[in-house]
Amino acid sequence: MAESGKIDPMHQFAIEPLFGTDHWSLGGFNIAFTNSALYMVLAAVVLWIFVIGGMKRELVPGRWQMAVEYMTGFIKNLLIANIGDKGRKYIPYVFSLFMFILLANLLGLLPLGLIGMHPFTFTSHFTATGVLAIMSFSIVLIVGFWKHGFHFFSLFVPHGTPIAMVVPLFFIELVSFMVRPFSLGLRLFVAMTAGHVLLKVLAGFVINSANASPALGLTVGTASFILMIGISALEMLVAVIQAYVFALLTSVYLNDAENLH
C-alpha cells in the first residue's frame, strides 16, 4: 500500500509574507506584505471597481448600475427596517462592511488553486474579523454616548424593571452588551474557518484514498468528491449569509444606540 502523506487542513490559514522580510518592522510589529493583506487589497479593489462602474447616474440604469443600486437598496431597506428613517446615515458604512466581507468570503472560495495560486480567506482570521467587529462596536458606543450622553446606560435597565431587579439586570445586560463584539467577530471567523477545514479534510480523503488503492479511490474518493461539490455550494451560501448576518447584527446594535429601548 502506498504511503499516504498527512494532509494538514490548517495549513491553508498560514499567513506568509509575499514580499518584505521579518526586518520590516514598525514599532516592533512586522509590516511585511502578506497573502492576507493581498486579499484585503483585492477585496477593496473589486468593491471599488464594482461601485465606480455603477456611479454613472443615468436616468435609465444599465445592468451594472442596476446591480449596484440593488445592493445599496438592499442595505437601505435593511437599515430602515431595523433603525427607521434615522438609519439612512449609516448606509455608506454598512454597505462597505457588507460588500467587503461578502467579497472577502467569495474571493477566498475561488478555485484559484487550479492555476497554482493559493486563495486565502482573510475573514478566517479573528484578527481581521475582530477589527471589523470592534469598528461596528465603536460606532455603536460613539453614537450612543454622543446622542444620549450618560442616558445611554438606560439601555441596560429596560422600562418597568422592579427596583429589586435593577442591579442584577444591569450586570446581565452589561455582560450581554460587552460580549457583542466578540460574538460578532467570532461568528464570521469560525463559520469561514469551519467550512474551509471541512473542504480540505474531504480533499484529503480524495487524495489519500486514491493513493491507497484504485478500488478505495473509486468508492471513497468519488463519494468524497461529490460531497465536496455539495459542500462548496453550501459554502457559497454560508459566505453570503454570514456577510448578511454581520450587516444585520450591526444594524440591530446601531438601533440600540440610535433609539435606546
Partner 1 sequence: MDAEAAKLLGAGLAAIGAGIAALGVGNVFSAFLEGALRNPGAADGQQGRLFIGFAAAELLGLLAFVIAMILVFVA
How many Cα atoms sit within 13 Å of 205 on the Cβ side?
17
One residue of 193, 209, 224, 250 binding partner 1 per CB under 8 A: 193
Does residue 148 bind partner 1 (CB under 8 A)? no
CA distances from 187 to 5, 37, 181, 201, 260 (A): 32, 21, 10, 21, 25
Residue type, 106: L
Give the binding range for partner 1 (CB under 8 A) out of 17-25, 28-36, 188-196, 226-234: 188-196
Residue type, 245: V
Does residue 194 bind partner 1 (CB under 8 A)? yes
d(CA 6, CA 113): 19
Does residue 187 bind partner 1 (CB under 8 A)? yes
What character string, x for contact with partner 1 (CB under 8 A) and - otherwise, covers 242-261?
--xx--xx--x---------
Nearer to partner 1, 66 or 241 (CB): 241
Does residue 234 bind partner 1 (CB under 8 A)? no
Does residue 64 bind partner 1 (CB under 8 A)? no
What character string, x for contact with partner 1 (CB under 8 A) and - otherwise, covers 153-172?
--------------------
What character string, x for contact with partner 1 (CB under 8 A) and - otherwise, covers 92-131?
----------------------------------------
Burial 192-211 (b: 16+ CB within 10 A, else e): bbebbebbbebbbbbebbbe
Q: How many residues bind partner 1 (CB under 8 A)?
A: 17
One residue of 97, 99, 107, 191 binding partner 1 per CB under 8 A: 191
CB of 193 to partner 1, least distance (A): 8
Asked if residues 232 and 198 have their Cβ atoms less than 8 Å apart, the reply is no
One residue of 4, 5, 10, 117 binding partner 1 per CB under 8 A: 10
Instruction: Judge residue 185's burial from the number of C-beta atoms within 10 Å of its C-beta, 0-12 exposed, 13-18 middle, 19 or more buried.
Output: buried
Q: Which of 13, 255, 25 is nearest to 143 (CA)?
A: 255
Give the binding range for partner 1 (CB under 8 A) out of 17-25, 89-97, 147-155, 187-195: 187-195
Does residue 86 bind partner 1 (CB under 8 A)? no
CB of 87 to partner 1, least distance (A): 12
Does residue 175 bind partner 1 (CB under 8 A)? no
d(CA 106, CA 232): 11
How far from chain centre, in Å, is Cα 108?
A: 11
- For residue 72, give the DSSP letter: H
Dihedral angle of Cα 76, 232, 132, 241, to the nearest 10 degrees: 30
Length of the chain: 261
Residue ranges in contact with partner 1 by CB under 8 A: 10, 78, 81-82, 183, 186-187, 190-191, 193-194, 241, 244-245, 248-249, 252
